[in-house]
Amino acid sequence: MKRGSKPDSEARRARRDALRRILASGALVLAPTAALPQAPKSRTSAGATGMPPVHRRVELVRATDLAADAAASRRDRLPILLFFDRDECPYCEQALREYLVPFSREEWKGKAVFRQVGIDRRDPVVDFAGVRTTHQALAERYGVFLSPTVLIVDAKGNRLAEPIVGLLTVDFYGAYIDSALKSARAKLSG
């Protein structure tokens, strides 16, 4: 450690470790995004980021009251899937369109709570403890800075599975999510 520098915070260490795991696994693929489909931009009012809100073709329910979601999770023993995305993220759009929205409407409907959190948005949200915060602050609290990231948590906001960071291998992405949700449900049932 350099003289005069402060120790890294736990969140910073977690982000650094997650990035190292991604880079070490070779899962981070850099590709030109111009060829990838972009979500249409809204020309209406500007969001908390100063940019117009992005209206994707498909979305999950935006996180607004995680305390209420926690009550449903406790009552029915449901895991809560938090999908962290960014505006202008084509990989997020693909993850939503091909995996998360279909899961939330079909095979995982009624078996898990799905919520979307904007890493780069200051939209208001009530956290698991009932405290008002923002999407951006919630992402920072969990050490999430890459998108897309999937976290599966319990009613207290505690992680039930390892985070799924990036759109890893597209052929296995759905299996990773399905496996993490099944593992989370087993932990909540037992």
Judge whether 39 lies within some domain. no
From first to last of its 190 residues, the chain has per-residue pLDDT tens of: 444 444 456 666 666 665 555 544 444 443 333 333 333 333 333 444 455 555 556 799 999 999 999 999 999 999 999 999 999 899 999 999 999 999 999 999 999 999 999 999 999 999 999 999 999 999 999 999 999 999 999 999 999 999 999 997 888 999 999 999 999 999 999 7
How far apart CA 21 and CA 11 sit, in angstroms, is 15
Cite the beta strand spans of the chain per DSSP E: 80-85, 113-118, 124-126, 132-134, 149-153, 164-165
Per the domain annotation, does 85 fall within a domain?
yes
Is residue 46, in this structure, part of any structural domain at all? no
What residue type is 178 in one-letter code? D
pLDDT of residue 22: 53
Number of domains into which the chain is organized: 1
Q: What is the CATH number of the domain that holds 137?
A: 3.40.30.10
Whether 70 maps to a domain, the answer reads: yes
Report pLDDT for 38. 39
pLDDT value of residue 137: 98
State residue 52's pLDDT score.
Answer: 53
pLDDT at res. 4? 46
Does the residue 69 lie in any domain?
yes
Domain that holds residue 121: 10-27+58-189
Residue 53 lies in a domain: no
Is the whole model's pTM more than 0.75, yes or no? no
